[in-house]
Copies of this chain bind each other. A is one copy, B any other.
């Protein structure tokens, strides 16, 4: 388990350590003969530069810290995959962490990332207080995804939740729906914007926004629908539902079907996030798509710009979501 060092390669190639270093970094000022000799020696010994030693000596880092709110959430998993692709292409390595959705654990996780003196950090929907983010931002560039913060040293990438909800409302209104309810995501990331967008869009159409408190889970969706069923007569029941996210929508659909209501014939349902779940033919859920790939790419680019010192002004990316129409929405009174 003992690996060769640069010194070993130098000895075998009959050159100095410095020359090996130059070769390893593709310096142009090395003669072809020496370069070949060094490369061969390295090959024979199975030598590979030690990233940490390199980082220490060069006072630069190729490490990017990533803290994920919850990897189990496919949304974040997608983003991380995308980040990894971008990082590999640019020669960076990801070190990954989760904070278990607890501020305290996230704070520790953030500290761990920081202790690597990473080139930069990306936080995916963090729950730590803004002050903690500030602390991190003083040590290296920080980019936030699905979370905003007022700080001139931190870049943010978010989808426009208000616009997303508006998309859903417009779609339903366009199909003739007038009584539309929103299943609010409570304290979940982005839930507040989605609700605001819903209410604003409804008013814009001269309609009365109905909001039911829920959660971003399928169980939450079921409960919310049961409440609606209890609160409204069949004739007055909302014919359109804008769920907080896809899971929530699935729960809502279950409860509706359980109550003998058909989707979309009796009630249309729109989800949010366009998770792989929504795409399943079995569900075929109409939903709002957050451009995850773009979000990841923009977050990465913003970070790299800061890392390279190409920019000091903060950027606030607000991406436009789009509606993916599938089979859970139709005109009022049936398809």
A residues within 8 Å of B by Cβ? 1, 3, 46, 48-53, 55-56, 63, 66, 70-72, 74, 77-78, 80-81, 84-85, 88, 93-98, 100, 105, 108-109, 111-112, 114-117, 135, 138-140, 218-219, 222, 247, 250-251, 253-254, 257, 276-277, 280-283
Please state the number of chain copies in the assembly.
2
Cα-based distance from A112 to B282 in the complex (angstroms): 40
**Contact check: which of B56, B81, B100 meets A53 at CB < 8 Å?**
B56
Q: Which of A52, A111, A114 has the most CB of B within 10 A?
A: A52
List 4 other contacts, CB 8 Å, given A1-B139, A66-B96, A71-B77. Answer: A3-B117, A50-B117, A71-B78, A93-B97
Q: Are A93 and B72 in touch, CB under 8 angstroms?
A: no
Cα-based distance from A48 to B48 in the complex (angstroms): 29
Cα-based distance from A111 to B139 in the complex (angstroms): 28
| Smallest beta-carbon distance A274→chain B, Å | 13
Q: Are B112 and A98 in touch, CB under 8 angstroms?
A: no
- Given known pairs A81-B71, A97-B84, A98-B81, the reply for A250 and B115 (CB within 8 Å) is no
| Smallest beta-carbon distance A172→chain B, Å | 21
| Smallest beta-carbon distance A289→chain B, Å | 16
Contacts of A3 in B (CB 8 A): 117, 139
| Smallest beta-carbon distance A41→chain B, Å | 18
Contacts of A46 in B (CB 8 A): 135
Q: Are A52 and B116 in touch, CB under 8 angstroms?
A: yes
Contacts of A140 in B (CB 8 A): 1
Contacts of A48 in B (CB 8 A): 111, 114-115
Cα-based distance from A98 to B135 in the complex (angstroms): 30
Contacts of A138 in B (CB 8 A): 1
A to B CB contacts below 8 Å, 21 in the list: A1-B138, A1-B140, A3-B117, A46-B135, A52-B117, A71-B77, A71-B81, A72-B77, A72-B78, A74-B77, A80-B96, A84-B96, A84-B97, A88-B108, A93-B95, A95-B95, A247-B280, A250-B282, A251-B281, A251-B282, A254-B281
Cα-based distance from A56 to B56 in the complex (angstroms): 9
